[in-house]
Amino acid sequence: MRTNFILILVAMFVTTFSLQAQDETLEELSTMLADRQAVKEGIDKEIADLDKRIKEFPGWTKGLGGTVGFNFGGANDWFGQDIENSSSSGFGLDVGGYANNNGDGYFWHNGLKIAYTTTKTTIQDLNDDGSLDPEQELTNNASYFNLKSIGGKELFSNVFASAEANYETTFNKFNDPGTLTFSAGLTWKPINDLIVIIHPLAYQINFPSGDLASASGAKIGATYTGEIYPGVAWTSDLNAFLAYGGSDEKARPDGELFSAGDLSNWTWFNTFAVKDVFKGIGVGASLGLRNNKQLGFAKGISDPGLQTIYTLGLSYAL
């Protein structure tokens, strides 16, 4: 009995010592992990700072990145659903690129934006006898293409005399509709990643010319491309055209001629990308918003509202 008692005491001592040693090891590992994370955060900040300083040097800087997203979904007899029996799958693509030249007293920025989404919906309608019709597949595509170039000569600190050409269309029906805008005025460029334009002289040509009206007006906008946090990139592009007058020829569905408000429009695209989540591949999201009453009227919509296009998926930067 005494021998068994001693063995039990020894086993308890060894177990207690092992647990204490394990606790100490976990604490040491946690400390080491925290130290490494602090070092990594410091390196990420240094990399972001070096990248920013490189872009501030005179000369060309270029970049290209994109997001690819997939989504799947479906419902059957779901309350509040427009189509009782349906399933859908979608694909989205968002690509943005730039080529900028920042010199001593001048700048020249060029941008490319491509967005495309397609959704296929499979539906089944009920017959009078309660049976299902054969499946039908509906496809809905939406796309956007934007190419623009702006250049300026410095007048005084961070303010430039500038001119811009901006072209927008879709892939579904190229140049139907399409918009080409020329504008001139002033650009404020507080940092290399941000430009703000105020162009009181602008003319917007809308295609097809037989259906859509062109107009003179003012162009305002802002473009930002940079990192808002180490490893998190944000690209934002806002373009607005403010027409000075209406149309003497083109009319809305209600018969009234286009007013200045009908011919004014704006487009705003935002893209976020979390870089290098796994071997250079990140997670990205993009959202495009547009308000263009004239395009809505051309589709027969009596009261056009906000238009949207979005993608969520994997991102990659070159």
Task: Give the residue extent of every domain in the chain.
Answer: 1-56, 58-317
Mean pLDDT of 220-245: 90
Range with lowest mean pLDDT among 116-120, 236-240, 249-253, 284-288 = 116-120
Per the model's pLDDT, the better-predicted residue between 113 and 124 turns out to be 113
The yes-or-no verdict on residue 66 having pLDDT over 70 is yes
Q: What is the DSSP letter of 250?
A: -
The H or E element containing residue 265 is: strand 265-278
User: Residue 27 half-sphere exposure, CB side, CA atoms within 13 Å?
Assistant: 6
pLDDT band at 77 (very low <50, low <70, confident <90, very high): very low
The reported pLDDT for the residue numbered 80 is: 39
Which of 115-124, 142-151, 269-278 ranks highest by mean pLDDT?
142-151
Please check the confidence at residue 84 and state whether its pLDDT lies above 50: no
Write out the H or E segment, with its range, that includes residue 138. Answer: strand 136-156
Report the candidate in 213, 106, 114, 131 with the shortest Cα–Cα distance to residue 172.
Answer: 114
Token output for 306 = 């906000």
DSSP 8-state assignment for residue 285: E
| Mean pLDDT calculated for residue range 245-254 | 87
Return the SS3 of 203. strand
- Give the pLDDT confidence of 133-177 residue by residue, as tens digits: 666 766 777 788 999 999 999 999 999 999 999 999 987 777 888
Rounded to 10 degrees, what is the CA torsion of 251, 255, 257, 262? Answer: -70
Q: Which CATH class is domain 58-317?
A: mainly beta
Whether pTM > 0.75 for this model: the answer is no
pLDDT, greater one: 127 or 178: 178
d(CA 15, CA 37): 33
> For residue 201, is pLDDT > 90?
yes
Strand partners, 122: 87, 137
- 3-state class of 160 per DSSP? strand
CA 145 – CA 176 distance, rounded (Å) = 12
Count of positions (residues) in the chain? 318
- List the structure tokens of 256: 């009234």
Chain centroid to CA 190: how far? 23
The angle at the Cα of 64, spanning 103 to 189, to the nearest 5 degrees, equals 35
Is pLDDT of 81 > 60?
no
The overall average pLDDT reported for the chain is 80
| Start-end of H helices in the chain | 2-56, 260-263, 293-298
The pLDDT of residue 196: 97
Residue 317 — pLDDT band, cuts 50, 70, 90? low
